[in-house]
Amino acid sequence: MTRKLPKKDVVIVGLGWTGSIMAHELTDEGLDVVAIERGPWRDAPTEYPPNYAQDELRYRIRHELFLRPDQTTFTFRNKMNQTALPIRSWGSFMPPNGVGGGGVHWNAETWRFLPSDFVLKTHLTQRYGASFLPEHMTIQDWGVTYDDLEAHYDRFEYLCGTSGTAGNLRGKIQEGGNPFEGPRSRPYPTPAQAQPFSHTLFGKAARELGYKPFPQPSGNLSKAYTNPLGVRLGPCTYCGFCEWFGCGNYSKASPQTTILPVLVRKSNFAVRDNSEVTRINTDRSNKRATGVTFVDTAGEEWEQPADLVILSAYTLFNVQLLLLSKIGEPYDPVANKGVIGRNFTHQTISTANGFFDNKKFNFNPFIASGSIGMCIDEFNGDNFDHGPHGFVGGGYMGQVQTNGRPISTTPIPPGTPKWGAAWKAAVRDNYLSSVVPGTGVHGSFYSYRDIYLDLDPTYRDRFDRPLMRMTIDFHDNEVKQNTFLTDHFGEIIKAMGANQVAKEYRKAPYDATQYQTTHVCGGAIMGADRATSALNRYLQSWDVPNLFVMGASAYPQNAGYNPTGTLCALAYWSAAAIRNQYLKNPGPLVDA
């Protein structure tokens, strides 16, 4: 028996980064807002304090902060002619759960996309011709431009206190920053983080090879900061327990450290934790959302009616809820019709590890933060001429090693036995003198007709609903892109003075057991054409105008950067449209 709650103006599904931004914006507008979060409340002093947060086994290996696959998982196959099987234990990505979402345990790498990324189809077609693009590549323009979003990127960076060195200030290229970035209106709110030894050495080697290295933009702050909401953060202390871990000392930007203390004080805001939304409800016309249904931990079902629904549950759960709620036409790859589930992408990640003379180099890898690193952007986006190379896309690369945690980061040179006395000696001799960048090459993943999401025909979750099915593989374009990038990356590692460089290319088939960042994107994409997108340029559903869908599910393809900065900028952009236009005149903001 579903119990109905009193109506709210707004219901927000999932209280992560975009949910928190939307909640803050819409409560400021005077609306009565409730957020419903599947996972538990989380906060540093109680859930990840600095006296037990630094536990690699518990958080990195046993995944304690993440969703349990038993709560919800996905099935996976590479190709359409295979049978998809359940992801029984997480591998290639780690779905978040809990208040703060991925914002609790991300690295806080805070990038902006390139201006060309937002008009990718137009740009590449103009430069290289349509036939240069692989057949069945389904990249699209976003419907917004970098210029549309600049003020909102700025807003997010100032919310977080992002530490960095500007590369392009209002059109003027700045020494020490990223010369390829789009113009920014003002400098970063705090200076770039100080770089430890190996990261500094990479920068030096890159410079000597003629590149323009710059510090990675970091949400681990270089100094104490008070954001525009009056919330204070402390300086990052380089503990080396960043991604996969909560920050114990208020120095990593997260909803908890930037928004929630102010948000919970508002009388027009409430959050329900440990409550899973199972359906977005619509009226008989299926053109208007009436609210959501959710289940609490006792198994009781509730209905939360609302005038406006914000779906901000993370890429995959957004798409899953749209499919299960029958909102929007599901994508059919054979007929090439439908929108929900299309243009699903991930990230093309690889690395090159360096082994140095341990009598000459001591890197203290345990002194690091999540967004530390010197990077170069020469090989990102369309920053170089792809004509001779036969692929499109690219990524940033850098020594971005975030940790020296010994369970995961005890590298041995290729060919070393995996066990025994030789293994032991190699681990001992190389721990302090190796460079293990991790996501050293962070490449784009463009979209294809046969990479998509839909509902699985066989496997079901604990509510007896079909699991969502992922069909995903690496196409030649991304493999070529990665080989090219990894080779260049390896050169820089070598130039640092490594005795041995072990390149680890990313190759097909896509392996769901190997972690490759949690930057899954697409499935409910934004665009100008409702035949090929689920959302308009304001992230408003074409089908259900009082539903807005946040997050990287909106990306028509993924660029060569971490996605969080852009999806938070889009949240601010969408919130502005809701506040300034939608609320005055509820209805479609863009004519179909």
Partner 1 sequence: MPKRATSTVLGATAVLVLLLVAMKSVVATTPDSQAFEQIERGRYLAIAADCVACHTVLDAGKPFAGGRPIETPFGNIVTPNITPDLDTGIGAWTDDEFDNAVRRGIRPNGARLYPAMPFTAYTKMSREDVLAIRAYLKTVASVHNEVVTNTLPFPFNIRAVMRVWNALYFTNGEFRPDQQKSAEWNRGAFLVQGPGHCTACHTPKSFLGGDKTSEYLRGSRLQGWFAPNITNDARTGLGSWSASDVATYLKTGHNRVTAATGPMAEAVKYSTSHMTDSDLAAIATYLKSVPGEPDNPSPVRMDDPSMIGGQAIYRDQCSACHSLDGRGVPQLFPSLADSSMARSSDPTTLIRIILRGARSVATAAEPTAPGMPSFGWQLDDAQVAAVVTYIRNAWGSAAAPVSARDVSSARSDLQGRTD
Partner 2 sequence: MGLSRRDLLASTALFLLGGVPTRAAVIVDRLPWTPNAGSPPVPVKPGPWLFFTGPEGRAVEAIADRIIPVDPETPGGKDAGCAVFIDRQMAGPYGRQDGLYNRPPFLKGTKEQGPQSEEGPAQQYREALAALDRYCRSKYAGRVFAELGDSDKDDILTGLEQGAVILDGADGNAFFLQMIKDVQQGFFADPIYGCNRDMVGWRMIGYPGARYNYLDWVHRHNERFPLPPVSIAGRADWTPKSR
For the segment 50-79, give every residue that binds partner 1 (CB under 8 A).
50-52
Site string for partner 2, 450-489 (x = CB under 8 A): --------xxx-----------------------------
Residues 311-330 that bind partner 2 (CB under 8 A): none
Whether 258 contacts 270, CB under 8 Å: no
- How far, in Å, CA of 470 to CA of 86, rounded? 10
Whether 400 contacts 437, CB under 8 Å: yes
CB of 249 to partner 1, least distance (A): 5
Site string for partner 2, 265-294 (x = CB under 8 A): x-x-xxxxxxx-------------------
Among 10, 119, 139, 239, binds partner 1 (CB under 8 A): 239
CB of 126 to partner 2, least distance (A): 37
Site string for partner 2, 524-543 (x = CB under 8 A): --------------------
Q: Which residue has the tokens 């006792």?
A: 298
Non-local CB neighbours of 170 within 8 Å, separated by 6+ positions = 183, 184, 185
Among 151, 224, 422, 425, binds partner 1 (CB under 8 A): 224
Q: Which residue has the tokens 């038993």?
A: 70
Among 171, 210, 230, 299, binds partner 1 (CB under 8 A): 230
Q: Is 420 helix (H, G, I), strand (E, B) or coil?
A: coil
CB of 373 to partner 1, least distance (A): 22
Provide DSSP, 144-165. S-HHHHHHHHHHHHHHHT-B--
Residue 547 tokens read as: 């539903």
Among 2, 30, 83, 185, binds partner 2 (CB under 8 A): 83
Is residue 265 a contact point for partner 1 (CB under 8 A)?
yes
Q: Which residue has the tokens 């707004």?
A: 10
Is residue 373 a contact point for partner 2 (CB under 8 A)?
no
Residue 76 interface partner, choices partner 1, partner 2, none, CB cut-off 5-8 Å depending on type: partner 2
Taking residue 210's Cβ as centre, other Cβ atoms within 10 Å add up to: 8
Non-local CB neighbours of 174 within 8 Å, separated by 6+ positions = 165, 166, 167, 168
- Closer residue to partner 2 in complex, CB, 312/574: 312
CB of 45 to partner 1, least distance (A): 3
Residue 197 interface partner, choices partner 1, partner 2, none, CB cut-off 5-8 Å depending on type: partner 2
Residue 335 interface partner, choices partner 2, partner 1, none, CB cut-off 5-8 Å depending on type: none
CB of 550 to partner 2, least distance (A): 21
- Closer residue to partner 1 in complex, CB, 47/276: 47
Q: Is 220 helix (H, G, I), strand (E, B) or coil?
A: strand
Residue 226 interface partner, choices partner 1, partner 2, none, CB cut-off 5-8 Å depending on type: partner 1
H/E element, 47: helix 44-47
Q: Which residue has the tokens 């190759």?
A: 507
Strand partners, 526: 535
CB of 291 to partner 2, least distance (A): 14
Residue 158 tokens read as: 């100032």
Is residue 420 a contact point for partner 2 (CB under 8 A)?
yes
- How far, in Å, CA of 249 to CA of 49, rounded? 7
| 421 exposure class (CB count in 10 Å sphere: 0-12, 13-18, 19+) | exposed
Whether 380 contacts 212, CB under 8 Å: no
Residue 273 interface partner, choices partner 2, partner 1, none, CB cut-off 5-8 Å depending on type: partner 2
Long-range CB contacts (within 8 A, 24+) of 290-293: 291/7, 291/11, 292/11, 292/13, 292/36, 293/2
- How far, in Å, CA of 103 to CA of 101, rounded? 5
Is residue 83 a contact point for partner 1 (CB under 8 A)?
no
Is residue 234 a contact point for partner 1 (CB under 8 A)?
yes
- How far, in Å, CA of 25 to CA of 374, rounded? 34
CB of 262 to partner 1, least distance (A): 5
- How far, in Å, CA of 170 to CA of 365, rounded? 36
- Nearest-CA neighbor of 72 among 453, 463, 454? 463
- Closer residue to partner 1 in complex, CB, 239/310: 239
Among 7, 9, 32, 49, binds partner 2 (CB under 8 A): 49
Site string for partner 1, 21-50 (x = CB under 8 A): ----------------------xxxx--xx
By CB under 8 A, the count of residues binding partner 2 is 93
Residue 416 interface partner, choices partner 1, partner 2, none, CB cut-off 5-8 Å depending on type: none
Residue 519 catalytic? yes
Residues 232-251 that bind partner 2 (CB under 8 A): 235, 237-241, 248-249
- How far, in Å, CA of 136 to CA of 64, rounded? 39
Residues 174-213 that bind partner 2 (CB under 8 A): 194-197, 200
By CB under 8 A, the count of residues binding partner 1 is 25
Residue 169 interface partner, choices partner 1, partner 2, none, CB cut-off 5-8 Å depending on type: none
Q: Which residue has the tokens 């609903």?
A: 465
Is residue 173 a contact point for partner 2 (CB under 8 A)?
no
| N residues, the chain | 592
Whether 277 contacts 292, CB under 8 Å: yes
Torsion from C-alpha of 83, 277, 10, 42, nearest 10 degrees: -110
Residue 234 interface partner, choices partner 1, partner 2, none, CB cut-off 5-8 Å depending on type: partner 1
Q: What is the DSSP letter of 582?
A: I
Residues 5-24 that bind partner 2 (CB under 8 A): 5
CB of 520 to partner 2, least distance (A): 16
Residues 89-118 that bind partner 2 (CB under 8 A): 89, 91
- Nearest-CA neighbor of 278 among 460, 63, 458, 481? 460
Report how many helices (DSSP H) and strands (DSSP E) the chain contains, helices first: 13, 23
Is residue 76 a contact point for partner 2 (CB under 8 A)?
yes
Tell me which stretch binds partner 2 (CB under 8 A): 115-123, 319-327, 427-435, 555-563: 427-435
Residues 342-371 that bind partner 2 (CB under 8 A): 361-364, 366-367
Where in the sequence numbering do the catalytic residues fall?
A: 519
Residues that bind partner 1 (CB under 8 A): 43-46, 49-52, 224, 226, 229-235, 237, 239, 248-250, 261-262, 265
